[in-house]
């Protein structure tokens, strides 16, 4: 019922030119791939050019952040409507780098999620514990707080359309992936909370994807976990070959 969802988070990499060269190659490589939702998240500067380059293909586009206001004197910020107008359909919200480096809290994430939905964007909401929290055995309470506060005031129907990315902070960019078992446990917990707080239909339809050092070599075992619906890929999404391999290996038939 939930088809795998694979998103490449390019972070602060790729000029407009590099981004367009990348997607022109990617769209050819994945043109016959069915049964996987494929998304790339370029920096703001390249969102429009990338969206034009992948128009009418099976590749979608995400922004990496937004501001919740519609317009105004907010120097340096980008509104949900501007992102939508640039051709993106998705937006990553609350990535751990934004939480750590730019002070984003669950309350801020919540405002952004609501604004994104209001503009017709699908949020990819990132949650996940730090190493210290895991070592203190606080993983599940931390996830509970992040789910409750980041998704506050959303309806079951809105949750159903959402993508939640579980990204243990200690696994991001470190080469240290959560084992399939660790990911599976966290995802099962997240799904159970979504069911409890937003209803069975919302929980069954919401995509819960994993992020943190996902590579072509480990994607199969991760998506073999019943509650892992795909991946948010950083480093390995910067090369067409490795990103396309992750996409094709995420299909159930490939497991
Ligand atoms: P990584 O990044 O794949 O390079 O660990 C994942 C992310 O930050 O979304």
Per-residue pLDDT tens digits for 133-149: 999 999 999 999 999 99
Q: Cα of 128 to ligand 1 centre, how many Å?
A: 12
Report the nearest-CA residue for atom 2 of ligand 1.
234
Range 39-57 average pLDDT: 98
Q: Cα of 124 to ligand 1 centre, how many Å?
A: 14
**167 assigned to active site:** yes
Q: Is the CB of 219 under 6 A from ligand 1?
A: no
Which residue is catalytic, options 95, 187, 189, 207?
95
Report the nearest-CA residue for atom 3 of ligand 1.
234
pLDDT at 83: 98
Task: Give the total number of structural domains in the chain.
Answer: 1
**Among the atoms of ligand 1, which is closest to the Cα of residue 171?**
5
d(C-alpha 40, C-alpha 25), whole Å: 13
DSSP string of 206-249, one letter each residue: SEEEEESS--TTTHHHHHTSTT--EEEESGGGSSHHHHHHHHHH
Q: Is the CB of 172 under 6 A from ligand 1?
A: yes
Which residue is catalytic, options 167, 187, 189, 225?
167
Within 8 A by CB and 6+ apart from 232, the residues are 7, 9, 92, 124, 126, 165, 167, 209, 210, 211, 214
Q: What does the mean pLDDT of the chain come to? A: 96
Supply the CATH number for residue 94's domain. Answer: 3.20.20.70
Q: Is the CB of 64 under 6 A from ligand 1?
A: no
Q: Is the CB of 79 under 6 A from ligand 1?
A: no
pLDDT at 177: 85
Tell me the whole-structure pTM to 2 decimals. Answer: 0.97
> Does residue 214 register a pLDDT over 60?
yes
d(C-alpha 15, C-alpha 98), whole Å: 21
Range 153-172 average pLDDT: 97
**Among the atoms of ligand 1, which is closest to the Cα of residue 174?**
5
Question: Which two three-digit tokens encode residue 126?
Answer: 């990132």
Q: Residue 171: name the closest of 224, 118, 134, 124 by CA.
A: 134
Within 8 A by CB and 6+ apart from 27, the residues are 53, 54, 57, 58, 59
Q: Is the CB of 94 under 6 A from ligand 1?
A: no
Q: Which residue pairs from 185-192 have beta carbons closer than 8 angstroms and sit at least 24 positions apart in sequence?
A: 186/139, 186/140, 186/143, 187/225, 187/227, 187/228, 188/226, 188/227, 189/140, 189/143, 190/127, 190/143, 190/147, 190/164, 190/166, 190/227, 191/227
d(C-alpha 146, C-alpha 138), whole Å: 12
Please state, for a pLDDT cut of 70, what percent of the chain lies above it: 99
> Strand, helix or coil at 123?
strand
| Per-residue pLDDT reduced to its tens digit, 81-133 | 999 999 999 999 999 999 999 999 999 999 999 999 999 999 999 999 999 99
Domain extent for 80: 5-254
The pLDDT-based confidence of 255 (bands split at 50, 70, 90) is: very low
């Amino acid at each position: 019922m939930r088809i795998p969802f694979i998103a490449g988070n390019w972070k602060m990499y790729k000029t407009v030119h590099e981004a367009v060269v990348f997607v022109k190659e990617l769209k050819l490589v994945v043109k016959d791939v069915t049964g996987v939702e494929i998304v790339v998240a370029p920096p703001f500067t390249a969102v429009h050019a990338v969206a034009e380059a992948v128009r009418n293909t099976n590749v979608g586009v995400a922004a990496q952040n937004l501001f919740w206001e519609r317009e105004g004197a907010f120097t340096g910020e980008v509104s949900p409507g501007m992102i939508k107008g640039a051709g993106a359909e998705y937006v990553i919200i609350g990535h751990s780098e934004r939480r750590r480096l730019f002070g984003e809290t669950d309350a801020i994430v919540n405002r952004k999620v609501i604004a994104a939905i209001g503009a017709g964007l699908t949020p990819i909401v990132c949650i996940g514990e730090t190493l210290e929290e895991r070592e203190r055995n606080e993983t599940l309470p931390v996830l509970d707080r992040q789910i409750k506060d980041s998704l506050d005031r959303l309806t079951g129907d809105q949750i159903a359309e959402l993508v939640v990315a579980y990204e243990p902070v200690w696994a991001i960019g470190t080469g240290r992936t959560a084992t399939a078992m660790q990911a599976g446990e966290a995802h099962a917990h997240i799904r159970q909370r979504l069911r409890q707080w937003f209803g069975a239909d919302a929980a069954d339809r919401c995509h819960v994807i994993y992020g943190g050092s996902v590579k072509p070599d480990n994607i199969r075992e991760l998506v073999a976990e019943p509650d892992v619906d795909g991946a948010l890929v950083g480093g390995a999404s910067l090369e067409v070959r490795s990103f396309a391999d992750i996409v094709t290996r995420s299909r159930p038939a490939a497991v």
